[in-house]
Structure 1
């Protein structure tokens, strides 16, 4: 099968348009169209349905696109390993983690990583969906549970607890809750118990909701919960690490907290020798050490 035709097919399938694919490949629309026709003839199959809104893959086209996508990811992995220098850290690094951890803990600390490695280009992908590391949807992941995929190197970084926080301004106006039953006089800010999140957080929210809270505000990520708390809207369920970086947060109901949530760093076995991965791993571990130290000092005070 002609590799060049497969490359052009993949670009068309990804773009959904001959014109857009041609722009990416620096080819004319007619040249792209000829290559697609030739590929369809060689396979004796129709790969696209022509539609007014663009091109739609046929069943045969979907099968071929799955294959070319897997090929591209393997080629990306090989290219990344070839580009890795034994002494220098540079190039692209795709990092995936949850929206909450990425926005509230990781992103604010990345300036230190760039100070050390100015030629590194980080693509931070924040989503609750677990990306497939062996298939190279990302290079490295920080996850709130131990990864189950095979062929991954994994390291447990720390544990997180979900706790309840408010601002002093909110407490001055609404009073400090002393026992869980006091939730009937307060607004709770949390993620919806049906939203994608760690089970410990959903369990804590469900528990507090049994106390007939006066009002409820749900947000689909912890960054939004934090903003609601900082705007003095109510009592918010947040990861404990947020309180170290945000002085305005005051913990309430200290006897109420979630079970431990483990935090793991993982990356594919084939990237074991990657200098970019090693640099990021060491950076995160150093920041975790500093975080633990700061947390202990705060608890002592």
Structure 2
């Protein structure tokens, strides 16, 4: 058996993606190349590693038998690369960070120039999709998530607690009497949530408070909701870190929304000791600490105390 790491790398990508096409997208290779590499590995092992179907691929018993070993080899290759980088005194490579879209836009993206200036060899890939990435399948290296972590075996660090409020634009509030009670919301326009956004705790709480309001727009996008509110269309709930990044928004009935959610930074346990991962994690943590120090209240100060990384589970 003379297979090399390159062939195992393709094997792992297919196993994690569940399809040749998905692996090709992750590896930035053609499907033909991925298929050829997989056939080469199967020929060298004299074994079929995946069952093929119209819906994708799934590991055979042989594939499952070597999966853990392939991941261990992957980890050793990462450590070898880290040793080389550390010897040169430079950090290089790509770190993929997944975060909620609003948080990524307002807190992370504006600060990444600082990280690049300090470590120009680091490349940050910022994923702001509403879909939750699977860290165990290496879809990202670091995930910043609002709410309790839901994947087992991940290493987590609590960054703080996110507060929520009800907001309208100054344009919408022109010539309107101040809001003093929840009843003052009656008859006003709201920008309602749909899809996964509607299932968030703050949107469910706001839905109960706004039953007598006019629904001017429904959307499953937080950023579309934000832009609609900024335009003066209506009222909606937002995380405070997002709303406070837009001075034209005014919080109505402060303290009315009781919803809070913990903010976590998560990574795969095999990645936690890599220098580039640790560097990016510390950078993200410092952003949150600076928010507290400057008293912007993007995150409630009570949730911003430093915390040691801990293993988390569902």
Answer yes or no: same fold by TM over 0.5.
yes
**How many pairs does the alignment contain?**
285
Contact preservation (8 Å) 1:48, 1:57: yes
Deviations 1:20-71 (A, max 9, x none): 434x46xxx9xx49957x85x955899556xxxxx76577x77777788877
Q: Does 1:142 align with 2:152?
A: no
Distance 2:284 2:243 in 1: 19
Deviations 1:168-191 (A, max 9, x none): 111105554332222223211242
Q: What residue number does 1:279 align with?
A: 279
1:80-119 pair list within 5 angstroms = 80-84=78-82, 85-86=85-86, 87-119=89-121
- Residues 131 and 222 of structure 1, relative CA distance in 2, 3 Å threshold: same
Which of 6, 15, 35 is matched with 2:21 structurally?
15
1:174-213 pair list within 5 angstroms = 174-192=176-194, 194-196=195-197, 199-210=200-211, 212-213=212-213
Larger radius of gyration: 1
Q: What residue number does 2:158 align with?
A: 156
Contact preservation (8 Å) 1:187, 1:214: yes
What TM-score comes out, normalization by structure 2 length? 0.73
Contact preservation (8 Å) 2:162, 2:260: yes
Q: Which runs of 5+ in 2 are unaligned?
A: 301-314
What TM-score comes out, normalization by structure 1 length? 0.75
- Residues 197 and 209 of structure 1, relative CA distance in 2, 3 Å threshold: closer
Q: What residue number does 2:308 align with?
A: none
Q: Give, in angstroms, the shift of residue 72 of structure 1.
A: 6.6
RMSD: 4.0
Q: What residue number does 1:79 align with?
A: 77
Contact preservation (8 Å) 1:158, 1:263: yes
Q: Give, in angstroms, the shift of residue 288 of structure 1.
A: 0.8
- List, as ranges, runs of 4+ consecutive aligned residues in structure 1 with deviation greater than 6 Å: 4-12, 61-72
Distance 2:37 2:277 in 1: 40
Distance 1:2 1:214 in 2: 68
Q: Which runs of 5+ in 1 are unaligned?
A: 50-54
Distance 2:49 2:291 in 1: 58
